[in-house]
A and B are shown apart, each in its own frame.
Chain A
Amino acid sequence: MSEPVIKCESVYKIFGENAETMLNEANGNVDAKTFQENGCIVGVNNASFEVSKGEMLVVMGLSGSGKSTLLRCISRLTDATGGKIFIEGQDLLNLNNKELIELRRNKMGMVFQSFALLPHKTVVENIAFPLQIKGINTGESINKAMDMVKLVGLDGRENYFPRELSGGQQQRVGIARSLAVEPDIWFLDEPFSALDPLIRKEMQDEFLRLQEKLQKTIMFITHDFDEALKLADRIAIMKDGIIEQLDTPANIVLNPATEYVRKFTEEVPREKVLLIEDVMDSSATENIGDLKVLRDEIIENVAEKILTQEKTVAVIDNNNNIVGSINPTKIINTVFGGRKNNN
């Protein structure tokens, strides 16, 4: 496997006057309570993870869990107190101001919860802004920005001002702006949290469509567990600055690592999250019926078909090879069983 695009090694962010000395004294054993008694607030506590190329890591946590702080450490909008962060092998914390600006101008894009559009610029000017900052001339940057306007479906509104747009449209501008310089790494800080539920769903679908096309390396922050499940390749769940669990959505639902994570997974409709391969029996390939289902199908989509069968159903991969089987009772257990245990 190639080098990870983002790599964090025990990153700490502690707010307070003598945060650094306290961190050194703590010797890698940071306890939020003792820090708080000394006037320091722990934002991020020992975060280590990697994000590989084209992967979407969703960081999920409630407000105050440190997820936004973690993102700002990696984009270096704030400086981490301790630990190391590598972007494509470059040590982020050792970059000087000029190198950092270069990195942001070419490799990074970021979308904000409150859209953060410039009120005095039109849609197209807002999108062209990062290009113009880079020094690209007006004509070229406007042309490029117009492509972006089309990409996010705002054609015809390019000369509107942000104040004349709805929330969803404003966030489309924010997304287009962050993509204008064609960055490799895409940071999204709760991009859809300020939107109405219906618009939010529409934007999530749009976002998935874009990602399919663009294949960026993404860090996506959200406080909405359903959103995380819908979008993520992997999910990191944070609480009080600590990453409680980092895993694929299916594994988080099936094997919650801590009590805190389990509480989130309780109400999750499993048939909407889990794939056939997550629950199939890969050893038993005998005595199966005629129906075949793909291994990476979401259970919900095929459950009805499977439940009409009396026999075990074959699971196949894309090349039509049988890789396992699944029994209708297993489906029933998956959908209803988990919750019974919890009660």
Chain B
Amino acid sequence: MEILKKYPKLFQWLFLLIIFFALCFAIDVPETYKFIRGQAEFVKDPNQSTFVFLGKEVRYYAFDVFWRLPPLLGWLPIWINDSLFFLMNDWMPMEFWNEDTQEYKTRPLVLQITRNLTAFMTFLIELIREILLGGLETIVAFTSWDWIDANPWAELPGLPWTIVAAGSAILAYKLGGKGLAIFAGLAMTYISIFGQWKPSMQTLSFILVAAPLSFIFGLSLGIAAFKSKRVEKALYPILLVMQTMPQYAVLVPALVLFGVGDHAAVIITMIVAVPPMILLTLLGLRAVPPEVIEAGRMSGCNNWQLMFKVLIPTARRDILIGVNQVIMVCFSMAVISAFIGAKGLGFNLLLALNQLNIGLALEAGLCISLIAILLDKMSLAWANKQVDYFGNLNFFQRNKNSLFFGLIMIVGIALAYFGSIYFKDGYNYLFEVPHNKGISTADFWNKGVDWIFDTFFVYIKAFNTWLIVEVLQPMRALYLRMPAIATIVLVVGAGYLIGGTRSALVVCGLTLFIALSPWWDRALVTTYMATFGVIVSCIIGFTVGTLCFQNKHSTKFMLNVCDIFQTFPSFVYLIPVMMLFGITDTSVLIAVIVYATIPATRYTIEGLRSVPSGLHDAATMSGVTKFQRLFKIEFPLAFPHMMLGLNQTIVFALFMVIIGAFIGTEDLGQYILKALSDKKGAGIGLTLGICVAFIGLIFDNLIRTWVDKRKKHLGID
């Protein structure tokens, strides 16, 4: 009894675990049960039960409700799909003027809106693309094809690569100084020389449209949420779900609404990139000291002046960090949206991966990573840059960068002209190095891969088999063996023990949604892969983080490494693992581990760093050893922050598991990928996405609640 009183929580947890295992043993696997089956598939089988809801018929195999809940939400994807189609094809038909045929035409409202939006996006992308690469479309948009035929000289020439490279170096110099400028110049030159110029510029033009649009939308919504509690409350749940929703899942409904191509990709990218921008805008505006706002008010600002002359400039840094986030999401999407036909490096990467041409994939991946790192560093430099005062400068000093760029333009054009004379017969290498005509290293890499395979095949294979047979399969079987009711009891009980009734209810709702969807088994597989990834990542991340923290230089080095790794678009991680492990679960899991180790390491270091130095000194003065200090002082205080790292690790792992479907897994991701090529896939894709998001949110809710309580308990903010 004494012990029970001393550690009440411990016994509550024990009790919960006992119930959980009792349920697991009490409920047997039904004999006819086949693991991994979408339980609401459209096969007609007399053994299936059916029910009808909202006019949608759902068929499923009925089992004991303690074993698996019936898919009562099975109608949801069908309903979403039908509603989308109804909206697109039948809702609110209206008369619209058609320029081409010169007559009125009846079209549903939503279709008209999406088509106009699509046309607008296409125009923007083409405009930038043709400034960089040259082309006809922009001029056609203002005139017509006939006019182009009559005036063959009318064509945007595109910028020679020398100008673009030098221009980006100048911009980098202005933002971040010499080092960044050199990096910018070298990166651009590399891209050009290695023949990746065209796809790179296609990707860049895509990002130059998607990023500013996302920025504008995110900023305005952030301001709206800052000004009105009601808007914030309405946005908050959407933001939460979007933060954990796999990007794949958004692709499918957008495919229905906007079709295939760069424009649809831009719109999807906006949907994914706007939420972090909103959050950071809100964060920045909230952090403006109240006295600065009061000072603005007392200076007689009206609301408009207060927002744009006081609040936003003061929150400048946070808002620009938001821009950085937006750019990173854009790169990640630039690859993923290749699935719906976005051109550029992402498309080449996907193609190469599909053909298992690791060399080509590596080249494309390297280019996209280079551009991503460059833009990341540039936007961060912009955020950290202090405004200069230009009061006393003359015209030349003030405009030296623009003047220099003008000079570069002239030199670049002259060079290109010179090139057109010099390289008379072939390609003008001073204008643009054509795709696949640059230096290619693909063969070298492919040979390297072959060599690795030949040399280490036995070991890799042995490791692979061991991992799959001894670790992964049993773990997977254990997860699938859990009766639904046991899982729900475990999760809800944990919610109650950590956060009380409120937490328990939230977690229960999220779990029930997944359990009542037709994909419970697949959700379990997703969870098992994520769990495995998270466990290994955490062990690596916490160890590496703690070791690096012992020394100032290694701390800094490790944080930099984390920064760079985080900049890589998530898809790029698949290239090296496919190189080494081929198409297996191991590949996916290793990609997951590498990707998810980043936040685990980063948060460990940050958590340890946040321990106040006063406590360090106090501990040292009481004569602790290094280990005592680590275990008695630093770990307990850093633990809440490290748990936030765990939260991020879970989100990252889930993302990668879903992306891993590209290699081939048997989880929710596989179905999302399937839905992409299914005409009626929109509803399924979205529902699956929500399921993945909810898995993330369950852990998010539990961890956050615990961290908040713990932080309050420790008195740290």
Contacts and interface: CB of A to CB of B under 8 A. Distances in A.
Interface of A: 72, 75, 77, 97, 101-102, 104-106, 108-110, 112-122, 129-130, 133-134, 159, 161, 163, 174, 177-178, 181, 187
Contacts of A120: 313-314, 316, 387
Nearest to B387: A120
Given A116-B289, A118-B310, A120-B314, A159 B392 contact: yes
B294 A110 contact: yes
A158 B316 CA distance: 23
Interface stretch (B150-158, B236-244, B298-306, B482-490): B298-306
Contacts, number: 73
A108 B294 CA distance: 13
Nearest to A110: B298
A314 B360 CA distance: 105
B291 A114 contact: yes
Contacts of A181: 300
Contact of A77 (B298, B301, B386, B387): B298
A105 B300 contact: yes
B477 interface: no
A116 B301 contact: no
B292 A101 contact: no
25 contacts: A72-B294, A77-B297, A101-B301, A104-B299, A105-B300, A108-B298, A112-B294, A112-B295, A114-B289, A116-B291, A119-B313, A120-B314, A122-B391, A129-B299, A130-B299, A130-B300, A133-B299, A133-B300, A133-B309, A134-B300, A163-B386, A177-B295, A177-B299, A178-B298, A181-B300
Place the interface of chain B in its size category: 20 to 34
User: Which are the 6 A-B pairs with shortest beta-carbon distances?
Assistant: A105-B300, A130-B299, A116-B295, A116-B291, A110-B298, A104-B300
A116 B387 contact: no
A72 B302 CA distance: 18
Interface string B305-348: 10001100110100000000000000000000000000000000
Nearest to B386: A161
B459 interface: no
Most chain B CB atoms below 10 A, which of A113, A121, A129: A129
B389 interface: yes
Given A75-B298, A109-B298, A110-B295, 14 more contacts: A97-B302, A102-B300, A108-B298, A110-B294, A112-B291, A112-B295, A113-B291, A115-B291, A118-B292, A130-B299, A130-B300, A163-B386, A174-B295, A177-B295
A133 B295 contact: no
Given A104-B300, A105-B300, A109-B298, A119 B291 contact: no
B371 to A, nearest CB: 30
Contacts of B314: 118-120
Contacts of B294: 72, 77, 110, 112, 116
A114 B289 CA distance: 9
Contacts of B387: 120, 161
Given A104-B298, A110-B294, A122 B316 contact: no
Contacts of B289: 114, 116
Contacts of A104: 297-300
B298 A133 contact: no
Nearest to B297: A77
A310 B577 CA distance: 103
A161 B299 CA distance: 19
B291 A133 contact: no
A181 B299 CA distance: 9
B391 A159 contact: yes
Contact of B313 (A118, A122, A161, A177): A118
A177 B473 CA distance: 71
A180 to B, nearest CB: 9
Contacts of A121: 313
A194 to B, nearest CB: 11
Contacts of B386: 161, 163
